[in-house]
């Protein structure tokens, strides 16, 4: 899933951005290396921190962690089955 943050254009219109700003990543609890490993693009030119984008990042991280937990539970179950 490719995350595309929303950014403001002139006259208050919104459009899809190139990537998340460093401030948004910091607010979501990520650094740039972790974001790149997770496939989250970074726009180094952006300086703003939009609350909607921070919430989207946090929600994406929660969904990734729940998938990771489900996968680890399945692996543990299969390991118990084979022993």
pLDDT tens profile 46-64: 898 999 999 999 999 998 8
Residues 6+ apart with CB under 8 A from 24: 5, 49, 50, 53, 54, 57
- H helices present in the chain, as ranges: 22-28, 32-37, 51-82
User: With contact defined as beta carbons under 8 Å apart, do 22 and 33 qualify?
Assistant: no
* pLDDT tens track for 30-49: 999 999 998 899 999 989 89
């Amino acid at each position: 899933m490719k995350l595309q943050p929303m950014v403001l254009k002139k006259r208050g219109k919104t459009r899809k951005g190139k990537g998340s700003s460093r401030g948004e990543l910091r607010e979501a609890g990520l650094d740039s290396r972790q974001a790149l490993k997770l496939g989250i693009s970074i726009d180094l030119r952006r300086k703003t921190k939009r609350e909607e984008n921070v919430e989207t990042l946090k929600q994406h991280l929660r969904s990734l962690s729940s998938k990771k937990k489900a996968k680890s539970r399945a692996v543990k179950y299969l390991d118990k089955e084979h022993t």
